[in-house]
Structure 1
Amino acid sequence: MQRRSFLTLFAAAGLSACSAPGAPTPDPMSSQPAAPASTAPATELAFNRGGDRPLPTKIWLPAGNGPHPLIYFSHGLTSQPNDYAGLLAAWAAAGFLVAGPKYPHTWYEAPEYNADDVVNQPADAQYVITELLKSLGGLIDPQRIAAAGHSAGAITTVGLFSGSRDTRLMAGLMIAGRQMAQPSPFAGPAAPLLFIQGKKDKTVTYEQAYGAYNEVPWPKGFLEIPDAGHLPHQDEPALVAATTTDFWRWTLNGDQAARQRLPQEVESAMLTSTF
């Protein structure tokens, strides 16, 4: 039998939830799976930081008039937001507004590709979040914002909770992520962070991901998937979608039932959980 592990300290520091003032009452139907991706339409907004950093940003819109929680997503090297459409649309179908830009020097058709430009992406992220709040007005609840990313996008997300701390963020998700080459300590107000890591990942190693996780001083979780590589969201799409959606329901909506489901979902997928 395959064994996977889910290590979590989400109950640490007395943080039972990060619901913002005015957050809606948790939906009793939230235990249902996320709706199919086709229910979440997408559009695109054109942003440009400083005039020379174009950041066209894909938006996955949930149903309803809002305000909705915002999940800001950062793609990996030689990638783009559409490459993660299944996962991002699942979050949108669960009621979250999801936005992800193409970073100017790391997306797959970048005119001047430069992997080292990842160090500038946290500032891009902060800029796009600010512009989204301006552009989408009442569609976004400014008190319920989170950040997520994969690979270099997860490194970007780590930056948003460390050296480039964005205090607007309530929670974060790192898929195959590690710290920057010159890491800074995690800083600012406590925010629950979830790491998802394939044990067979040779791009971002288990040791690198767990090293970043170990440095987090706040409630945190680490989901290890032994048979997954660098794309755990593709290797185990149902598990990753269900776990991350409930993570957002807890951290952004204050849904305590979703928090309690996290280890149950892990156990149902033949994982062991430890608190």
Structure 2
Amino acid sequence: MIQAARGSNSDSFLREAKEAILSFNDPQVENLFSRALMSVVEKRNDPEKIYTGAKEARENILSYLEQNGVTQTANIWARKIEFERKAIDSLKTEIRNALKERKIEGVVEIHLQDREINSPHIQFVGNDAPKAEKIIAEILVKHNYEDSLESAISKGTKPAYFELESKFLPRRQILSDRLAQDERYIQEREQIQQRQQEKERQTKELFKGISERAKSFREILLNLDKTAHFSSGKESKIEQIRKIKSMPTEELKEAYFKKRKQR
């Protein structure tokens, strides 16, 4: 979607100053704008600072771009973009290299959502916007962040701004905040998994200890049982001796002769 260039009062332009991609043919100019954006980010992070210098930075960048050609804005859909630091950094590098290779000057920002577009998209503000739009769209399609070139540069989708009342408009979210949020989520999930693994390990150790104690107890019972059998046998013989001693003489004779016959 090609639009008129963002103005110096636009909240959208340089909203992602911290993550912005700069593409300028003159290294000195690029370094100058890079330092200006770093200053903006530092002041935005300081709650005591009222003036951030963002408007001045926008004015300087737009002024430079307008001196070198027609400045426009291109918004390219990136609805399936992967919000992971490594993936984002890789995408930024690829876009920057592709634009520099074709000597296209401008500023690229990854926007999660804003008042006009309620989905992740790439915003390019600079010269040769139609070329930049196509280059960025091709990169997004290559990484499966969009299904096709047509869907990436589609003009048929109504912005949320025209569909919703202002009170229902999505709140803008900064990319760096989203990445930090996702990183915290990943860390918390890993901590939960580690705690679960530790709990499982402790449970296994507990059952192992119980099993070993049960085995030891069974061995003790087995030894007691053997001792009991042995004791029972001894008592039986004693009882037999007592019984023989208490038998009358005639019964003893009968038992004796009976035993001899059995032999």
Higher relative CO (Cα under 8 Å, sequence separation at least 6) belongs to: 1
TM-score, with length taken from structure 1: 0.25
Higher Cα Rg: structure 1 or 2? 2
Greater strand percent: which structure? 1
